[in-house]
């Protein structure tokens, strides 16, 4: 085993379309595992020279590890994709950042020489397995987490509004509108086409269809419409609505990670290099603030600053959480580096799939912005955590 770290690179990152959770969702009659299988097959077809026997582990983030998402789904996915029995696998739970943690764990494995080629992904079928389904919290959990609001992510967003009243509902609605507008522009421009892998699904009437477009974006959104939405987490004086929060969604995403040396020996052209990872913990009742300390940590580890970040992808669990991050990191609320193609308020947030989705966006944005050198992916996490990763654009040096 080497006594130095190895460069870790992204070969590819793909995802399914994101469907709405529930009976009206495009994946209502599709199992979670069957969202992942087409992604593995797409990696093979998109990467000439890649074969299943090169993959040394299959590491998947899954928040609700029960039912179809239980049974160590990370192990089952390559088997169900008919890649054989030789690829081991595991499942990781860090709630919303489960998939990004799978990527983080995988980069560390490769960096220290334990592997050369790994799958790192995330999947969540929130229609079949809603958030918190069959969870049994410890009797002391509520007390130690700071109160009942720590268990309700919408309430944690309301708490941020309470503690930091400079972030108003009007600001949150304006941010949400911008997310929808940017997503609409990106979709029309075909930015999603290369990363979304089509999945054949069954409709409620038994007919088949190809799911290849995100179901959640609402391009018709207006500020007037957002202002009229109910505030379900607090009827009187609430500020968090379905319009300025991410949705409940079904989806999957995966990255193919390799050591740079192995990638070059195989003739693959990596798109970006892992630079640093950091995780942080905060008061669980304001969990959405955690990307700030996580990002401060990762910048320190990398020896970089926010000014060095040319592209910033933050998972928009709630508009107020994104606003807090931007403000505390010294960025304007409409900074052009942030979520250029829109974020989770528009596309949705299928928990463990969202982290790898951020990486897929980063890959695409790096490809069309060769003048961008560094990028940040960051997320808030239930129970008061934040997770941040910095990447380097390998096309940058060729400018």
| Mean pLDDT within 351-376 | 98
CA distance 288 to 336: 22
Tens of pLDDT, residues 142-175: 999 999 999 999 999 999 999 999 999 999 999 9
Tens of pLDDT, residues 37-67: 999 999 999 999 999 999 999 999 999 999 9
What pLDDT, on the 0 to 100 scale, is given for residue 309? 98
Tens of pLDDT, residues 94-120: 999 999 999 999 999 999 999 999 999
Non-local CB neighbours of 381 within 8 Å, separated by 6+ positions: 94, 95, 96, 97, 287, 290, 387
What pLDDT, on the 0 to 100 scale, is given for residue 1? 45
Let me know if 127 is exposed, middle or buried by CB neighbors in 10 A (0-12, 13-18, 19+).
Answer: buried
- Three-state secondary structure along 363-385? HHHHHHCCCCCEEEEEEEECCCE
- Tell me which of 96, 128, 161, 216 is the catalytic residue: 96
**Whole-Å CA distances, 321 to 104, 191, 292, 340:** 22, 25, 10, 17
- Tell me which of 109, 128, 161, 349 is the catalytic residue: 349
| Mean pLDDT within 69-83 | 97
The band of 397, judged by pLDDT with boundaries at 50, 70 and 90, is low
Tens of pLDDT, residues 191-244: 999 999 999 999 878 899 999 999 999 999 999 999 999 999 998 999 999 999
What pLDDT, on the 0 to 100 scale, is given for residue 177? 98
Is residue 125 flagged as an active site residue? no
Q: Whole-model pTM?
A: 0.97
Query: What class does CATH assign to 8-127+147-391?
Result: alpha beta
Strand partners, 314: 378
The band of 3, judged by pLDDT with boundaries at 50, 70 and 90, is low
Given a cut of 80, whether residue 378 has pLDDT beyond it is yes
What pLDDT, on the 0 to 100 scale, is given for residue 59? 98
In the chain, what percentage of residues exceed pLDDT 90? Answer: 95
Let me know if 308 is exposed, middle or buried by CB neighbors in 10 A (0-12, 13-18, 19+).
Answer: middle
pLDDT averaged over every residue in the chain = 96
Given a cut of 80, whether residue 17 has pLDDT beyond it is yes
Looking from the CA of 353 toward its CB, the CA atoms found within 13 Å total 29
Is residue 380 flagged as an active site residue? yes
Domain residue ranges in the chain: 8-127+147-391
Tens of pLDDT, residues 317-340: 999 999 999 999 999 999 999 999
DSSP 3-state of 273: strand
Question: Do residues 128 and 35 lie in contact, with contact meaning Cβ atoms separated by under 8 Å?
Answer: no
Is residue 36 flagged as an active site residue? no
């Amino acid at each position: 085993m080497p006594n130095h770290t190895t460069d870790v690179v992204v070969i590819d990152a793909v995802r399914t379309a994101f469907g709405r959770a529930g009976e009206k969702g495009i994946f209502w009659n599709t199992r979670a595992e069957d969202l992942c299988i087409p992604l593995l097959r797409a990696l093979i077809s998109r990467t000439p020279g890649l074969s299943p026997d090169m993959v040394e582990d299959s590491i998947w983030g899954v928040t609700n590890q029960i039912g179809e998402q239980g049974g160590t789904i990370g192990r089952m996915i390559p088997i169900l994709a008919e890649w054989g029995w030789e690829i081991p696998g595991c499942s990781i739970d860090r709630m919303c950042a489960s998939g990004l943690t799978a990527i983080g764990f995988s980069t560390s494995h490769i960096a220290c020489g334990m592997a050369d080629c790994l799958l790192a992904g995330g999947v969540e079928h929130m229609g079949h397995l809603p958030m918190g389904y069959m969870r049994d919290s410890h009797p002391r959990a509520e007390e130690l987490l700071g109160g009942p609001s720590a268990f309700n992510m919408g309430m944690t967003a309301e708490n941020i509004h309470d503690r930091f009243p400079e972030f108003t509902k009007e600001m949150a609605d304006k941010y949400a509108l911008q997310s929808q507008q940017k997503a609409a522009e990106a979709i029309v421009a075909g930015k999603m086409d290369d990363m979304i892998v089509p999945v054949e699904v069954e409709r409620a009437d038994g007919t088949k269809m190809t799911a290849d477009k995100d179901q959640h974006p609402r391009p018709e959104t207006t500020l007037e419409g957002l202002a009229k939405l109910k505030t379900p987490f607090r009827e009187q004086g609430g500020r968090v609505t379905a319009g300025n929060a991410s949705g409940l969604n079904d989806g999957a995403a995966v990255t193919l990670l390799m050591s740079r040396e192995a990638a070059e020996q195989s003739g693959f052209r990596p798109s970006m290099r892992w630079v640093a990872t950091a995780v942080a913990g905060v008061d669980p009742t304001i969990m959405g603030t955690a990307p700030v300390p996580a990002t401060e940590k990762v910048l320190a580890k990398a020896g970089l600053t926010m000014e060095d970040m040319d592209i910033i992808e933050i998972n928009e669990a709630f508009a107020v959480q994104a606003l807090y991050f931007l403000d505390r990191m010294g960025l304007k609320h409409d900074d052009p580096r942030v979520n250029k193609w829109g974020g989770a308020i528009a596309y949705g947030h299928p928990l463990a799939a969202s982290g790898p989705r951020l990486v897929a966006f980063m890959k695409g944005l790096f490809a069309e912005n060769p003048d961008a050198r560094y990028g940040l992916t960051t997320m808030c996490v239930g129970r008061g955590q934040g997770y941040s990763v910095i990447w380097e654009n390998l096309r940058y040096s060729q400018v």
